[in-house]
Amino acid sequence: MPLLDVKELSVNFSTKEGVHHVLKNVDLNINKGEIVGLIGESGSGKSTLAMTVLDINSRNREMSGNISFMEERIDNLKKERMRNIRGKHIGSVPQSSMNALDPLVKIRSQFFETIKAHTDMSRQEMLSLTARSLEMVGIDPLRMNSCPYEFSGGQRQRIMIALSMLLSPELIIADEPTTALDATVQLKITTLLKDVVQQKNTSMLVISHDLHTISRICDRIYIMYAGRIVETGTRDEILNDPVHPYTQKLLASRLPLMCEPVRVKGISGTPPSTLKKYEVCEFMERCDKVSDICRTVRPPECTGNVKVACHMECHLE
């Protein structure tokens, strides 16, 4: 039984402009001790998936499907119970987490706030727990009395990771943990995430648009496009043998580090609108390998044993 099991999850948001279909029939599972990557471009719904699991986007939301966590349905839990799970059992490193810390509140107080919300520790215990978790991410525990604005972006990111790990949750959801950081700092943060997961024996869902940066720490990868999982597999399968045209294009848009001038092609066209309901493959408008069947029949859903949501895959077999 996987730790987190998302089944047939569909999420719509009703707004003034109409109904946004953000997630469509998403199947995703995370086993214990695993690092799973969720990759997709802006607007593909990856953050919505994370927020739906944490239940922090319930406004105007309609959802269907199952989310189970530690063999418990969590998709329609009461607010109070969900609040217990968040922070204690599911830690979250939010997007642009550099700005997620209150800049004028001491690091120590922000850590204590989380501890107090979930446990009854004595002050001494809280201090030692805070010191230990800061040490783990390579921040001098003596600096716990500083305010976030005194730290650099990379340091704040590490503090945020320490904060999400504080109560040793079973699952950590890290939303774009390396975006907007320098290349050298990115390397440090990804290595840190991997170390932390190994030390604490937790699982992690890493969300990113940058397949290359994140893939080096993932065990398995899900590729998301327009609210659907289009391909899934182990890291080696995705990186060495991608099947879906979107995954292939993502991999090809990597900038090579070479002396000779070469041209790399990006993915042309624009991402599909979430307002429209597609009867056929969402990627068709930007795909070079469109065949007749693509125009008429929906490709298979990426659920169960199906690993690629593309007709191409069926033809190969």
Partner 1 sequence: MDNSCLIKIDNVSKVFKRKGMFRNEPEVKALDNVSLTVKKGEVLGIIGESGSGKTTLGKLILGLLKPGSGNISFADIDNSSSQNGKPIVQVIFQDPYDSLSHMMTVEQLVAEPCIIQNRKNFDRNRIVLALESVGLTPVESFLHKYPHTLSGGQRQRVAIARAMITEPDMIIADEPISMLDASIGVDILNLMLDMKERTGITFMFITHDIAAAAYISDNIAVMKEGKIVEYGSREQIISDCCHEYTKSLLLSASTGTFNNTSFDDK
> Which residues of this protein are in contact with partner 1, per CB under 8 A?
41-43, 152-153, 180, 182-187, 209-213, 215-216, 236, 239-240, 249-251, 253-259, 263-268, 270-271
How many beta carbons lie within 10 A of that of residue 256, not counting itself?
7
**DSSP 8-state class, residue 256:** P
Select 10 or 31, whichever has its Cβ closest to partner 1: 31
Distance CA 195, CA 267 (A): 33
CB of 261 to partner 1, least distance (A): 8
CB 184 → partner 1: shortest distance, Å? 5
In angstroms, what is the minimal distance from the CB of 192 to partner 1? 13
Q: What angle do the packed helices 107-118 and 123-136 form, to 10 degrees?
A: 120
Q: Which of 91, 209, 84 is nearest to 160 (CA)?
A: 91
> Degrees (nearest 5) of the Cα angle 178, 41, 75?
85
Indicate the residue type of 178. Answer: T
Cβ nearer to partner 1, comparing 257 with 316: 257
Asked if residue 4 lies in contact with residue 29, where contact means CB atoms within 8 angstroms, the answer is yes
**Length of the chain in terms of residues written:** 317
How many helices (DSSP H) and strands (DSSP E) are in the chain?
11, 10
Q: What whole-number distance in Å separates Cα of residue 273 and Cα of residue 11?
A: 15
Nearer to partner 1, 126 or 207 (CB): 207
DSSP 308: B
Q: How far is the CB of 195 from partner 1 (least distance, A)?
A: 11
- Residue 210 makes CB contacts below 8 A (sequence gap 6+) with 39, 178, 179
Q: Least distance in Å: CB of 224 to partner 1? A: 12
Least Å distance, CB 213 to partner 1, is: 6
Decide the pairing of beta strands 35-39 and 203-208: parallel
| Shortest Cβ 151–partner 1 spacing (Å) | 13
Residue 223, helix vs strand vs coil: strand
Name which of 128 and 253 has its Cβ closer to partner 1: 253
Cβ closer to partner 1: 203 or 213?
Answer: 213
